[in-house]
Amino acid sequence: MKSNLSLNLKPWLKAMALANKLQAAKLSGRNYVELSRLRRSSNKIWNPEMRIAKIVAKLREKRNIVYSQVPPATITKECQKISDDVGAGVAYLNFSDVKACFESIPFNQTKAAQTIETVKEYFNGFYVFLDQAKENPKQGFTFRPIGLIAELDLLLKKNYTYEYQFVYSVGDLIGELRDGHTAFVSRNYSGYIFYQGFSMYSVIKPDGTQQIKVFDDEIDPSTIDCQVTLIDGEPAIDVITGFARDHTQQSRDLSVRFNYALASLAFGSRDFQIYGQTFTLRLKLPTKPSTSYTLNCNNKVSNITREWRIPSNISNTILDPILSKYKSPYINETSVGNASLIYDAFISRFYVLQDFGVVLISTEDTAGFTPDQVTRFLNDMTVGFKLFVDRGIKKIVFDLSNNTGGGMHISDFILRLLFPNIETFPEDLKVTDVTTAIIEEVANGNLDNLFSYQLFTSTKTNTSFNNVTEFIGNNTYTRGGIQVRYTTKAFRNDSLILNVSEPIKFPWTEENLVILTNGNCGSSCALIVQRLAEIKVPTVSVGGFPNTRFSFASFTGGTMMTSDLIIANYLGVYPNLNNLTSRFTLPDDLLLSFTCAEVYSLNNPDEVMDFSFRQADYQLYYDERSVRDPSSLWIQAEKYIRKR
């Protein structure tokens, strides 16, 4: 049966794909200067929807199977079994075989100690939220304060039998930051996809009770819309909530993480696909080979078991089911429910529904496209708004649900297109010996990257910085009870915003717009909606828990970096930085991503956006139709436009 599953990897896995691309280039003999041509990617904020096939292929490219860093002479017989199955064209690997392969690689104390020291160097040197993460969460958030450096050291005091147990422990600890940009993964142990061909969603019944229901079931479609009452013998709502609380890192808001654990629709790759469903789609080896579900289908109770399926991903034929679109009865190529598509701008779509317009923005990620293509995408977006003007559209619903970001220049463009005089959020970097060294070194090259002072304008003077000293400044703030240095708060220069057309004065104001998300609007998406909210555009969140208004955006932090990019773009490129390379070199099979720039509110200049709980003005809930027909939500959201 053809699957409706859409693989939605976390933002850091997109960066992991780039890291594999860099590694493949290194293996092919290209030098670090040549590799640095990929530097533009360091200023992107990754969208987990794009080019999944390439990501999986790159994860295989380096050594074909999960033990990619194990020298061929030491490949265990358990891992050889996996290799043989892949070579034979087996579509799905056996759970017990993959587990046996993982468990054939013993824990290495020396490698673990080196790994912890290097991870600490990265967090001390770059992670902009390291100290603020120690503070108690603002009311509305659900996460524990964490002194990360001390807790990383404690991991070495635990007992591990296998290497993957240690790797997962480090990843889980870093995941407790609940920062969608920050993660630790292994190419060896996160190279397979574990999924059940089964997904769920949540509804709120008229009496206010919450139920978990089946969204999609590849094995037995007759279960769709049945209520899931128990999971492994425990109440389903409790199991999903616990999983979202402890094992999902996309947001500091539990309601958003709850949405992410379940299924909803996202527009990506020109089609609607199932997004989220992290409870039944995982990148780490699950603890058990299967899960049992108790269903209530029209008052008939039954029990089903769904095993973890592990695609070997060796061909497009096997990848195809994972990438296929979701076939909703309410969606076709030209309409969503009663909403008619009037223009497709690739990264956005323009619909007309009743007497209002809908702009569905799926991503800000244009990595992999040429500058000319990006220019076309943004010009097309301008055309979409012009068509709204021509049709006399007075009200617009912006749907940015399940949009996890892309390039900051794209978010800046969208903001300036709507409000030409709007300022974007100011940002800063952590000042340490390594960031100072990089800032000073790249100053001579005038490179287009995060550390180039020439690309910023001071919030104090509203003029460009004259030199490195002005950019670094002498700015100390109290975070987590200690004094921490940061660069001078700055705006990105307008030169970073693509100039694709003459400025247009559109007729809409904040009173004619409304924002709709399910909280899974992160990174550059969050920069858009958070900034619009600060000028009083109303916000609506969908999903979550009954009568619990929650965040309409997640991980607003300005820029994500990866360990591979730090080496490839900076430490391995500039001779004066080469002496830092050994401090920041992780084993080849490991990748760390982290937030290295933070943004501040314009309304409250000392407020760090990532740690600010901002609940939506209004809350909607999914039901059996709206979870498959976004136009039902668009109609409800339109009612909250102030000037109707």
Average pLDDT over residues 564-588: 93
pLDDT in tens, 534-557: 999 999 999 999 999 999 999 997
Percent of the chain's residues with pLDDT above 70: 84
pLDDT confidence of residue 611:
96
Average pLDDT over residues 241-258: 97
- Is 38's pLDDT higher than 80? no
Most confident of 8-22, 71-85, 267-281: 267-281
In terms of pLDDT, which residue wins out, 474 or 65?
Answer: 474
Question: Is residue 262 very low, low, confident or very high in pLDDT (cuts 50, 70, 90)?
Answer: very high
Q: To which residue do tokens 């390291």 refer?
A: 130
Question: Is residue 326 very low, low, confident or very high in pLDDT (cuts 50, 70, 90)?
Answer: confident
pLDDT in tens, 158-190: 999 999 999 999 999 999 999 999 999 998 898
Average pLDDT over residues 282-302: 97
pLDDT in tens, 130-164: 999 999 999 999 999 999 999 999 999 999 999 99
Question: Is residue 315 very low, low, confident or very high in pLDDT (cuts 50, 70, 90)?
Answer: very low
Phi/psi for 292 (5° steps) reads: -105, 145
Give, to the nearest 10 degrees, the angle between helix 236-247 and helix 254-261: 110
Token pair in block for residue 165: 């147990």
- Is 18's pLDDT higher than 60? no
Lowest mean pLDDT among 27-36, 265-274, 347-356: 27-36
CA separation for the pair 433, 46 (Å, rounded): 27
Question: Is residue 612 very low, low, confident or very high in pLDDT (cuts 50, 70, 90)?
Answer: very high
pLDDT confidence of residue 502:
64
Inter-CA distances, 329 with 2, 226, 349, 441, 628, Å: 16, 18, 19, 56, 8
Among 593, 561, 566, 594, smallest CA distance to 581 is for 566
Q: Name the CATH superfamily for 331-424+499-556+609-638.
A: 2-enoyl-CoA Hydratase; Chain A, domain 1 (3.90.226.10)
In sequence order, what are the residues at sequence separation of 6 or more whose Cβ sits closer than 8 angstroms to the Cβ of residue 582?
none
Question: Is residue 494 very low, low, confident or very high in pLDDT (cuts 50, 70, 90)?
Answer: low
Question: Is residue 498 very low, low, confident or very high in pLDDT (cuts 50, 70, 90)?
Answer: low
Average pLDDT over residues 99-108: 96
* Contact indicator for 622, 264 with CB cutoff of 8 Å: yes
pLDDT confidence of residue 30:
33
* Contact indicator for 489, 620 with CB cutoff of 8 Å: no
Question: Is residue 445 very low, low, confident or very high in pLDDT (cuts 50, 70, 90)?
Answer: confident
Burial letters 217-253, b for 16+ CB under 10 A, else e:
bbebeebebbbbebbeeeebbebbbebbeeebbbbbb
- Is 435's pLDDT higher than 50? yes
DSSP string over 396-407: EEEE-TTB--BB
The model carries a pTM of 0.89
Lowest mean pLDDT among 354-363, 368-377, 464-473, 629-638: 368-377
* Helix (H), strand (E) at residue 562: strand 559-562
In terms of pLDDT, which residue wins out, 21 or 505?
Answer: 505
In terms of pLDDT, which residue wins out, 643 or 630?
Answer: 630
- Is 13's pLDDT higher than 80? no
- Is 597's pLDDT higher than 70? yes
Sort 444 into a burial class: Cβ within 10 Å, 0-12 / 13-18 / 19+: exposed
pLDDT confidence of residue 187:
87
CA separation for the pair 106, 161 (Å, rounded): 6
pLDDT confidence of residue 117:
98
SS3 per residue for 91-135: CEECHHHHHHHHCCCECCHHHHHHHHHHHHHHHHHCCCCCCHHHC
- Is 340's pLDDT higher than 60? yes
- Is 335's pLDDT higher than 60? yes
Question: Is residue 232 very low, low, confident or very high in pLDDT (cuts 50, 70, 90)?
Answer: very high
pLDDT confidence of residue 59:
39
CA separation for the pair 46, 365 (Å, rounded): 7
Phi/psi for 407 (5° steps) reads: -85, 140
pLDDT confidence of residue 513:
98
Question: Is residue 325 very low, low, confident or very high in pLDDT (cuts 50, 70, 90)?
Answer: low
Lowest mean pLDDT among 51-55, 99-103, 440-444, 610-614: 51-55
Percent of the chain's residues with pLDDT above 90: 73
pLDDT confidence of residue 643:
75
Domain range list for the chain: 11-192+566-586, 194-312, 331-424+499-556+609-638, 427-496
- Look at the alpha carbons of 515, 521, 527, 533 in this order and tell me if their dihedral is positive or negative: positive
Q: Name the CATH superfamily for 194-312.
A: PDZ domain (2.30.42.10)
User: What rounded mean pLDDT belongs to the chain?
Assistant: 86
Average pLDDT over residues 77-91: 90
